Amino acid sequence: MQIRFTKMHGLGNDFAVLDLITQRLRLDKERVQRLADRHFGIGFDQLLVVEAPTQPDMDFRYRIFNADGSEVEHCGNGARCFARFVTDKRLTGKSTIAVETAKGPIYLTLVGRDHVRVDMGKPVLSPAAVPFVADAEAHSYTLAVQSEQVEISVISMGNPHGVLVVDSVDQAPVERLGPLLESHPRFPRKANIGFMEIVNRRNIRLRVFERGAGETLACGTGACAAVVAGRLRELLDDRVKVQLPGGQLEIHWAGPGQPVVMTGPATTVFEGQIHI
């Protein structure tokens, strides 16, 4: 069986996108892992799946699988690519698209030629809902990691995030602390871990060690979580440019009770077919 796919990226965070409205394919962990292999498969950080919605007021259903085969709730860079994909494939003619995800509805708006604005929804701060083990909600928590104590903010953007403030992302211990914090016992479902350097109140630099994928060139939900963490700690303004290794996103968060809005590019790399 031949399956058509599109290779895309959002600031270097790369995806294979499958249209499973006009095609059929059964996905399981092992099949996703084979497709993700950069030597014997397509190669990607995440696999994005376009399906028909299950709810009448939604335009599409959006599913995300990490390279390790695990299905996750949300991916901001993927959401921008999703919007570009369904538009380019003429699966919709709408400029704003209502999309069903595992964490609830999101709304995607095309901005110019290749940018997409995503209403990412309201950040979740309650530890139980992230999920994160804590006695009470706080703007930051102290975690014991081997022989050191790490201060971390905890936010869900539909998927769990921990955010550390560092002096320099270039010197940050991403390779060492990323895996330890990702699977820390206080994150029962693991977490994406962001290392944030504050340049000034409107600009940050960020590296993210993603759950199930390792460090990626960009993480949209991670950028949102970092800005929320910085705002809660009164370190950032409401509009922030986030410089990731793969490029720049703009994040706007007016504050508690308001949705986080992310704007950034989505790029098609190539089209292909693979034998399953």
Residue indicated by tokens 């959006």: 62
Active site residue 81: no
Catalytic option among 16, 18, 32, 75: 75
> Is residue 106 within 8 Å of 99, Cβ to Cβ?
yes
Helix (H) or strand (E) holding 83: helix 76-88
Active site residue 224: no
Please choose, from the candidates 193, 204, 189, the residue with its C-alpha nearest in 3D space to the C-alpha of residue 145.
193
Phi-psi region of 235 (alpha: psi -120 to 50; beta: other; left: phi over 0): alpha
**Euclidean distance between CA atoms 266 and 193, whole angstroms:** 23
Backbone φ and ψ for 271, nearest 5 degrees, come out as: -105, 150
Print burial letters for 131-144: b (CB count within 10 Å at least 16), e (below 16). Answer: bbeeeeeeebbebe
Tell whether omega for the bond before 131 is within 30 degrees of 0, i.e. cis: yes
Catalytic option among 152, 219, 229, 251: 219
Q: Check the CA dihedral 235-207-226-155 and report its sign.
A: negative
Residue 162 has which token pair?
């921990």
Using CB atoms within 10 Å of the CB of residue 55, give its burial: 0 to 12 exposed, 13 to 18 middle, 19+ buried. exposed
Q: Catalytic residues, which ones?
A: 75, 219
